[in-house]
Amino acid sequence: MLTQRFSLGMQLVLGLLPVCYGAAVVAALPNTWQSALGIVLAMLVVLVVCGSLGYPPQTVWPVFSAAFLALACTAVLIQGAFDDLPLTRQPSELIAMYLVALLYLGWGIGATWKAYSAFA
């Protein structure tokens, strides 16, 4: 029981890392409110789709984090605001963050696969 709580806590903390980075990126953009509104609407669509498919929240969380990070990086890419990136201010930072988002997406797919294969 304790290890399951620890695992859920670690998943929550690890899932917050890309969300915090994405929030810092969105906050630094020139037109923050438009970007934030677009990302929030897209995240609501992701949440509704995952909820309607009946996925458990533990498997949705990494996908949610990955989608938020990818949308935040896409907002920077669309606006060309590379000088507003928090770490290196280089376009290669976006490539690295897209790769991180893909890793989180893979984590979510793997967790979903594991959750549903336990029922089969």
25 within 8 A of 72, measured Cβ to Cβ: yes
pLDDT, tens digit (0-9, with 9 covering 90-100), for 1-54: 445 665 777 888 888 999 999 999 888 888 888 888 999 999 899 888 888 888
Q: Which domain holds residue 45?
A: 2-117
Q: Which of 102, 78, 77, 101 is nearest to 91 (CA)?
A: 77
Structural domains of the chain, count? 1
pLDDT, tens digit (0-9, with 9 covering 90-100), for 84-116: 788 888 888 888 999 999 999 998 888 878 877
Supply the pTM of this predicted model: 0.85
